[in-house]
Amino acid sequence: MALQGGMVMLTFQVGQRLCGVGPGEASPDQRTESPEPKETSVTAKTKTGAAPAERGASAMAILETAERLFGENGLESVSIRDIAKEARVSIAVIYHHYGSKANLLQTILRVRLTEIVEIRRPMLERLEAQERPDVRDVLRALFAPVAYWRSRASGRQSSRQFLSRALVSTLPEITSGMDGSIQYLKEIVRLFERALPHLSHAEVCWRFHFTMGLENMNHWDVARLALLSDGECDGDSVEETLERAVAYAAAAFLAPPFDGPFRPNQDPELR
């Protein structure tokens, strides 16, 4: 898959740029460089003689350990103490880098959402330059980043697990991060509107909403696909899964506009 080239370096650079943003520090969009963490009597001992790059690597290692534990055990179930034990660092070091569990969760989410945006960016820029982009190309750009995460080369198995839990989380620090991506998603909606000018804004938004369900859940449960098909469907093939998802979603976007009538369910238990 062409996306695989350079993605490991990209994800490391994104993580180095965003991890370790503590309370009271500027967000990544508010600065071009990350300031050095404030010195404290506790953290001074933990970083004596360490170069800035080493401290950044330490913060990233903590982030990746936390992401794996959150993905495996749930966002609410994992404590800072659990992360410190698994990462083999003191609790003080984690608080030095991230300040709180809530901020650590926000940072993991921000790093991974930024990574998805960075992977999509060149594809979306090419589509933006086209007067009327092909709906299949827009869908491919939408689906490709998380599809890439399924490949072994990505090293993003833990990221997939974390994101799947984040998508259904009600924790304020997670929902605020998810809601913050709406403006970015509106840019993709506008590409669909240019690809399908005969559809109303509302119609495109409905179809995009259902498509995001496909995007979010398509890659989490391929083992059941093999069971359902008695082994005939190879859900482990990233390329085939991506192209089948594109074909399926394109059929929905290319369908005639919904003209009703809308019939409310008459079953009182389902109202």
pLDDT in tens, 251-260: 999 999 998 7
Architecture of 2-253 per CATH?
A: Orthogonal Bundle (1.10)
Contact 96, 43 (CB under 8 A): yes
Domain ranges of the chain: 2-253
Q: What is the rounded CA–CA span in Å between residue 153 and residue 201?
A: 38
Instruction: Note the pLDDT tens digit of each residue in 61-73.
Output: 999 999 999 999 9
pLDDT at residue 220, rounded to an integer: 67
Average pLDDT over residues 120-146: 95
Question: What is residue 16's three-state secondary structure?
Answer: helix
Residues 6+ apart with CB under 8 A from 133: 127, 191, 194, 195
Percent over 70 (pLDDT), the chain: 74
Instruction: Note the pLDDT tens digit of each residue in 202-258.
Output: 999 999 999 998 877 766 677 788 899 999 998 788 898 899 999 999 999 999 999
Q: How much is the pTM?
A: 0.74
Q: Is the dihedral of CA 25, 26, 28, 33 positive or negative?
A: negative
Cα→Cα distances 40→46, 47, 50, 181, Å: 10, 10, 15, 34
